[in-house]
């Protein structure tokens, strides 16, 4: 068998756009014959898969996995090009399998996850295969993994468009799920007041002071108004200060937790596609461009 040099693998990758491991496998299977290796990749649908990687993948879902004992939890976002693919069982099952894999292996980051082995192949290779089969670009965007002696719970809204995860000490799984639902609905930025950056708080105070001044309030009243409005600000951005969404009397999350002798340690909220550029479908412009061309 011919020696497969790294330079040969690199050349095949540049020719086909396929992944490094796929190129190495193709050359090994074809005894180093470049032309046969290109055909091998094309037959497997891997040569065309990489060409799709330039497309915008701004649809998708956020999946979640919670271990049976409730001690380990994962939420994971994977993106594709269309909502149609995101809703297929095949795409959902892939996301679920990779989320469970994260819980089992606890990779340090997305790069480590992509390089890790799942069912005899790397996660990166698995995604590449799906790209070739489905015909859309697919990207593994981000994940969060919690492991605790307490409780981990997740909540999914709108079929994986918004997914949250909460780590809690004390209380029970039902309460943790309620808190995760709170995070999804109210979108707090911080757990409590201690986490609000000083610079952000001072900036908010300056804005509120100017608002009161523009309302024509005297200086001796402005300070009291700002204190009151900062309290309202905390109730918007801090989880424990928020009113519980399932409460009729506006009970604060902090009181709910106190009654259950529970404490929220941390939380995370993924909204599918947040921050991603979405494809702008301007069909009129497309037709006009074709006519001019």
Q: Is residue 49 classed exposed, middle or buried when 0-12, 13-18 and 19+ CB atoms within 10 A define those classes?
A: buried
Helix (H) or strand (E) holding 61: strand 59-66
The answer to whether 223 and 213 have CB atoms below 8 angstroms apart is: no
Q: Which residues of the chain have pLDDT under 50?
A: 280-284, 286-288, 290-293
Cβ–Cβ < 8 Å for 113, 123: yes
pLDDT per residue over 43-55, tens digit each? Answer: 777 775 555 655 6
- The whole-number pLDDT of residue 265 equals 98
Cα radius of gyration (the chain): 25
Torsion, Cα of 276, 152, 193, 260 (10° steps): 150
Distance CA 154, CA 64 (A): 7
Largest CA distance in the chain: 88
Domain ranges of the chain: 6-53, 55-147
Residue-level pLDDT at 55: 67
Phi and psi torsions of 190, nearest 5°: -135, 160
Confidence at residue 54, expressed as pLDDT on a 0 to 100 scale: 57
**Please, which residues bridge with residue 270 across strands?**
163
What contacts 192, CB < 8 A, 6 or more positions away? Answer: 238, 239, 240, 241
- Contact between 72 and 147 under an 8 Å Cβ cutoff? The reply is yes
Report the Cα 186 to chain-centroid distance in Å: 18
Residue pLDDT, tens place only, 127-175: 999 998 988 999 999 999 999 999 999 999 999 999 999 999 999 999 9
Give all strands of the β-sheet with 72-80 in edge-to-edge order: 59-66, 72-80, 139-147
- Is 55-147 assigned to CATH 3.30.420.40? no
Beta bridge partners of 155: 164
CB atoms within 10 A of CB 235: 17
pTM: 0.77
User: DSSP state, 220?
Assistant: H
User: Tell me, what DSSP letter sits at residue 136?
Assistant: S
CA distances from 66 to 70, 131, 249, 266 (A): 6, 27, 32, 16
Superfamily covering domain 6-53 = Ubiquitin-associated (UBA) domain (1.10.8.10)
Residue 154's closest CA among 70, 87, 98, 90? Answer: 70
The predicted pLDDT at position 291 comes to 43
pLDDT at 91: 97
Distances in Å between the Cα of 130 and the Cα atoms of 49, 145, 291 are: 9, 24, 35
Chain position carrying tokens 């609905």? 185
Q: Give the Cα separation of 35 and 164 in Å (integer).
A: 49
């Amino acid at each position: 068998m011919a020696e497969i040099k790294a330079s040969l693998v690199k050349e095949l990758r540049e020719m086909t756009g396929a992944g490094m491991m796929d190129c190495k496998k193709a050359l090994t299977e074809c005894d180093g014959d470049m032309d046969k290796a290109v055909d091998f990749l094309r037959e497997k649908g891997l040569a065309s898969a990489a060409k799709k990687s330039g497309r915008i993948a701004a649809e998708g879902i956020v999946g979640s996995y919670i271990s049976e004992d409730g001690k380990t939890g994962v939420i994971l976002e994977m993106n594709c090009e269309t909502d149609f693919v995101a809703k297929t069982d095949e795409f959902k099952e892939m996301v679920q399998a990779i989320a469970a894999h994260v819980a089992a292996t606890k990779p340090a980051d997305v790069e480590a996850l992509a390089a890790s082995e799942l069912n005899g192949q790397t996660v990166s290779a698995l995604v590449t295969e799906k790209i070739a089969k489905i015909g859309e670009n697919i990207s593994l965007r981000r994940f969060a993994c919690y492991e605790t002696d307490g409780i981990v719970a997740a909540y999914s809204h709108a079929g994986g468009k918004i997914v949250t995860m909460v780590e809690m000490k004390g209380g029970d799984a039902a309460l943790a799920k309620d808190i995760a639902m709170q995070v999804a609905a109210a979108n707090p930025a911080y757990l409590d007041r201690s986490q609000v950056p000083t610079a952000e708080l001072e900036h908010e105070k300056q804005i509120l002071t100017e608002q009161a001044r523009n309302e024509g309030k005297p200086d001796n009243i402005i300070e009291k108004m700002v204190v009151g409005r900062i309290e309202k600000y905390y109730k918007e951005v801090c989880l424990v200060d928020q009113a519980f969404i399932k409460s009729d009397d506006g009970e604060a999350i902090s009181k709910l937790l106190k009654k259950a002798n529970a404490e929220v340690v941390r939380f995370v909220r993924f909204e599918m596609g947040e921050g991603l550029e979405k494809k702008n479908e301007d069909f009129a412009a497309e037709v006009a461009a074709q006519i001019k061309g």
